Structure 1
Amino acid sequence: MDIYEEITEFYRGVQAEKRVIGTSVFGRNLYAFRMGEGRPVCIAQYAIHGREWITARLALAQFRLGTGRGSAWFVPLVNPDGALLCQRGRESAPDPIAAAELLAVNGSEDFSLWKANGRAVDLNVNFPADWGRGKRNVRIPAGENYIGPRPLSEPETRALKAFTEEIRPDLTISYHTKGEEIYWYYGQSLTACARDKKLALALSASTGYPLCRAPGSTGGYKDWCIAALHIPAFTVEAGRDSLSHPLGDEAYAELEEKNLFSVRTLLETCAAGMR
């Protein structure tokens, strides 16, 4: 069973508020489901990079754990096309033309390191937050770092943006692999910086990961949430840096152990600050 089948099966069976927030380039559903009630509200998104598909499984474990305070929307597989390219190769493309185009971009039958979506756009540099100004940005289709022809050019980023604007969360968290680091800063005001760092420190205590800044990183979901919505937003790089991409089943147990309580911790810390 591939990760898209795994998430689809969970979605169909789960008894919760749930919805399809959009579809991918290749027409696969982008699922979301909610746990808890009331505020604060967190959106947690996973696997926006194809080769980081293992993080989608973490969403299911965190959902089963519950939120404690407030509520969370889990979007476990933002990039299903990229995840299946990583897992199954170009045979996961919907037709021979798309498969041939992807092969030409990748230059190899081995898609195991593929981060982009089905159109060879890196979704986490496609948001309108200093779009195109990142140090590693590229301007031609590629397996990673291609910013796309314009901000929000991709159906996946448009869907996540629209969903976020509709839900109006108090905070967001994005799960990636790897490196065991937490990114939380994107030019916030002094007041917002103090607010966000308090949450970041709680997240660090929960995971055991240090806080970091990402100079030169732009166009990400976290960046857009901070710059446009003025809310706390975090990127967690889960999994030891000594591991090799793509992290798979062999790395999952430790990844879950360190990150299981992270959404719950953020909500409880945020709720305490709202009293």
Structure 2
Amino acid sequence: MDALNEVYDFYRAFAGEKFSVGTSVLGRDIPCMKCGEGRPFVIVQYAIHAREWITSLLALSHISNFSSCGTFYFLPVTNPDGVALALSGLSSVKEPSRADFLRGLNGGEDFSLWKANANGVDLNVNFDARWGAGIKNVFSPARENFVGSSPESEPETRALAAFTQNVCPDATVSYHSKGEEIYWYFEQEPGDCERDFRIARALAATTGYAPAYTPGSAGGYKDWCIRALHIPSFTIEVGSDGLEHPVGLSQLGRIAAQNKYVPATLAEELLWTKR
């Protein structure tokens, strides 16, 4: 199964409101499908890390089984070039010089553990939230952890940030793999911290995952949403930590079952917060 093609096929067949929020380095669309209406407004984005493509298929499950109040914008694959590399290798890259560049960064032909985009930038450390201050950050192109030349240097990052500012969401969720944890904290003010931890506990109750905090992390989409927009924002890591990367299709049923009620739970918590 090619998860990227499945996402695009699903998108073409989707009967609801849909659109591209932007394009990748290599010109691939970043698709978005809208479900529901009214508040709260929530953005859920998946597969910003290439090897974590299993989350893009979780997105299709969320859309197919959507049953929640509020308006949800689902972005199944935020890093389409990276996912294409992780699944199909250099056959997904048409330009020979680009292929040579990526082969050199990767150290070979096997891209199954690739995380970055087609510029060798890790999109989830490319946002303007203590950019470049993460303990694992690197400062030249690589298959993971390169922060880019500046915050939002990448078209995928700029597209997601601009779309988020346009929607003005009440919360965002980013799906990653692996670890079965929910990251919720990024230097919030005390009142926001109490609010966000309460929501994280509710998400933990419905998934069975643990609320967690990672000191030394910076530059992520969650971090930027918390810092720039002052909204609750969560990174949910699917798949047991005992699994190897990339988490495979055999885990999808379990992951979908664990995360089935995340949209509804989040919407209910956000509505309770507004009371």
Q: TM-score range by the shorter chain?
A: over 0.9
Between the two proteins, the alignment pairs up a number of residues equal to 275
SS of 1:63's partner is helix
Q: Distance in 2 between matches of 1:200 and 1:114?
A: 29
Quote the residue 1:224 is aligned against: 224
Structure 1: runs of 5+ lacking an equivalent? none
Give 1:32-181 correspondences, 5 Å limit: 32-181=32-181
Aligned to 1:7: 7
* 1:24-63 deviations in Å (ceiling 9; x for gaps): 0111000001111000111000000000001001111111
Return the TM-score normalized by structure 2.
0.98
Unmatched tracts of structure 2, length 5 or more: none
Is the CA contact 1:70–1:271 (under 8 Å) kept in the aligned structure 2? no
Q: Which residue of structure 1 lines up, in the alignment, with residue 267 of structure 2?
A: 267
Runs of 4+ residues over 6 Å off in structure 1: none
Q: In 2, Cα distance between the equivalents of 1:3 and 1:119?
A: 21
**C-alpha displacement of 1:78:** 0.2
Task: Give me the whole-angstrom Cα distance separating, in 2, the residues matched to 1:248 and 1:157.
Answer: 26
The farther-off stretch of 11-20 and 212-221 is 11-20
Distance between the aligned counterparts of 1:95 and 1:4, measured in 2?
A: 20
SS of corresponding position for 2:86: helix
Q: Which residue of 2 aligns with 1:247?
A: 247
Task: Note the alpha carbon deviations across 1:146-192, whole angstroms, 9 max, x for none.
Answer: 00011101000000000000000000000000000110000101111
Q: Give the SS at the match of 1:36.
A: strand
1:138 deviation in Å? 0.1
Alpha-carbon separation, structure 2, partners of 1:44 and 1:221: 11
Q: Deviations over 1:237-258 (max 9, x none)?
A: 1000111101121111111111
* AA at the equivalent of 1:102: L
Write the letter of the residue equivalent to 2:146.
Answer: Y
| Equivalence for 2:20 | 20
1:260 CA displacement: 1.6
Compute the TM-score of the two structures, normalised by the length of structure 1: 0.98
Deviation at 1:67, TM superposition (A): 3.9
Matched, 1:29 2:9: no
Q: Is the 8 A contact 2:46 2:76 kept in 1?
A: yes
Identical amino acids, percent of aligned pairs? 52
